[in-house]
Amino acid sequence: MPTKKQPPPSYVGFGMLTPVYIMALDKLPKHNTGAIVHQVSEYVYDDAAIIACNLRQWNVPTGMIGTSVGDDLLGHHIEDTLKDMGVQGKVRFTKKYKTPLEVNVSDKLGARTYFWQRSPEILSTLDTADLSMLKDADLMYVDWYDGDHIIRAMNEARRCGVPVFLNLEHGHRDPEIMEKYVSRATICQAVTDDAQIGRKGAMLTVAKKLLKAGIKTAIITMARQGCMVVQGDEIIRVYAPKIKAVDGSGAGATFSSGFIYGHLKGWSLEDTVRFAIAAASLKVTRSGLKMFSIKEIKALAESLAIERMVYRDDQFFELKSLISQAQTSSLVKGSKKLAERLMLKKKTERKKIKKSLVE
């Protein structure tokens, strides 16, 4: 029986391909000691591939343009996994090196420690990857830590009119990275610092830096504190719900998956951000990267606390503050005085009419 032909991928990920073993435990052990692992999950990493697989679980057509993998059991396992998930794209094999491996260790505090194999030789295979899949795509995703190898793909996406989603993390602190990568992106996801513990002021500072660099949508994630997204003059701050963390691995990529899903569906900014936070929060409650259903994510998304702001004249304003400022502006004051004079005039005229009727 012939297989049904898939539509062209709406999402295309560009980056590293590596298998990962995710180990969930209660607490990271001290140096030179051990700990009980409660669960081990297998998946395909890095973030570009995670998102491709996550979106497939929500029935979005996706593709992956990745690094070459070794012509070995792990390499062919990656090919089989992506094929089973329905992720389009040719997996390339090489005999020059073995398939790189990543191991993530997650604790119940939501923290993770990872060990990965990345070399210039592996990443350089991105330079010869076929980019033809981009011509029919609606969005391409790249990670800044794949280095200058992403520039060729970003340029091709721009040539094809495809928006680029850049995962920048804390790379905004480097002017060279801002110039090379951010200037070529449309949507940018960043953090305030390595620990993601900055306050609202830090979030606004990073967002302004990205907007000035030409980003259309600036996303600042803050782990347990949720995120802030600035698009045009609209700002949505969504707070993450309190959850019991089991495995934080892939939470950031799951947030990206949720945001990209809403973006591709044409949702409002608020609905998109709510969905992204809800998807990432639910993911943390269990080990591995099996996504919750759209219905379950939407149910949590509707309950999340949000804050709205606006970005005007190179400044950020809370809506309540903006309304208060408008009420005390000279224009409003003048309008109030004019209204008061008109009301006084009408009262005087009504008195004259009443007096004439009596006479």
Q: Residue 319 is encoded by which pair of tokens?
A: 């809506």
Tell me the pLDDT tens digit for each residue of 80-123.
Answer: 999 999 999 999 999 999 999 999 888 877 677 889 899 999 99
Tell me the pLDDT tens digit for each residue of 16-41.
Answer: 999 999 888 888 888 899 999 988 88
Residues of the chain with pLDDT > 90, as a percent, come to: 64
pLDDT value at residue 108: 75
Residues of the chain with pLDDT > 70, as a percent, come to: 84
Tell me the pLDDT tens digit for each residue of 260-282.
Answer: 999 999 999 999 999 999 999 99
DSSP letter for each residue of 146-206: GGGGGHHHHHHHHHTT--EEEEEETGGG-HHHHHHTGGG-SEEEEESSTT----HHHHHHH
Tell me the average pLDDT of the chain: 86
| DSSP E strand boundaries for 48-107 | 62-66, 69-70, 93-94, 102-106
Read off the pLDDT band of 196 (50, 70, 90): low
Do the Cβ atoms of 264 and 138 come closer than 8 Å?
A: yes
| DSSP E strand boundaries for 203-248 | 217-221, 227-231, 234-238
What are the backbone dihedrals phi and psi of residue 27, each rounded to the nearest 5 degrees, phi first?
A: -155, 140
Residue 3 scores a pLDDT above 70: no
In Å, the largest CA–CA distance within the chain is 111
